[in-house]
Structure 1
Amino acid sequence: MINEGEKIILFDGVCNLCNSAINFIIKRDKKSIFRYASLQSEIGKKLIADRNIDISKIDSILLIDPKIAYYHKSTAALHIAKELSGLYPILSVFLILPKFFRDWIYDIVAKNRYKWFGKKESCMIPTAELKALFIDQ
């Protein structure tokens, strides 16, 4: 499924904000660390079940690091930023802020993401050149 050193990002495949975030990450993942799957896909559901994650309580992006476990909400976003090219790794400094505060801000955006950014009828279908990055294809 994935190679040594790779990490999996599970995202809401029908959320416009989430899809834009995945496209943003792909463009800046110069080391090709990340692989992607939607939360709604069979592999996404399996990865969630294997880790006993209650997705009804974690309505967010998930970063699965096979060596460590998983991260969600703001912690996932900041650990993803640490791996991107450019100045984005600097954002990981926000990990020093209390998780409850970071997640409070994250939850405001997550709760309103469909209203603010819209929703698709079905999950994103990657282009042929990006298909290898998606483990749910």
Structure 2
Amino acid sequence: MRKSSHKDTEAEWYPLVFYDGVCGFCQRVVQFIIPRDRSAAFRFVAIQSETGSRLLRRYGLDPAELNTFVLLEQGRVYTRSTAGLRVLRRLDGAWPLLYAFIVVPRPLRDVVYRWIAANRYRFFGKSDSCMLPPPEVRERFLDT
């Protein structure tokens, strides 16, 4: 059995947001979360990174087939709109009020999510590499 790295075990301590590191929209989502998460509760990892891929496989997800927002929180994996709403619930300001949309049946919420996901590169572009986080938040990223 292979030992887990220290960075892998951080996933057990903090809510972990997996994001598409080359997606302009996904990078903007991470940049949206950071200043609204003043308690620094969230950690981030690119799906394409070694750590991100390894953790996703550990939780039964195939990183090569993944085109969704993923949140790992207290040992449970959440995807799509549920992941997004659970993140909003923990942010500062009025954002937690949007968690009320959790009462909308997931298939309906995910229709909107899938449409955005299917068009994210067309609307927001695609970069050649993952974003480099600023030094003041770099420790919140598992693979930098």
**Aligned ranges 1:1-137 → 2 under 5 Å:** 1=7, 2=10, 5-55=13-63, 58-65=66-73, 67-137=74-144
Structure 1: which 5+ runs fail to align? none
Equivalences, count: 136
- Give 2:76's aligned amino acid: A
More deviation, 88-97/1-10: 1-10
Q: What is the Cα-based RMSD across aligned positions, in Å?
A: 1.5
Identity of aligned residues (%): 35
- Residues 15, 46 of structure 1: alpha-carbon distance in 2 compared, 3 angstrom cutoff: same
Per the alignment, in what secondary structure is the counterpart of residue 130 of structure 1? helix
Q: Deviation of residue 38 (structure 1)?
A: 0.4
Per the alignment, in what secondary structure is the counterpart of residue 134 of structure 2? coil
Structure 2: which 5+ runs fail to align? 1-6
Q: Deviation of residue 129 (structure 1)?
A: 1.3
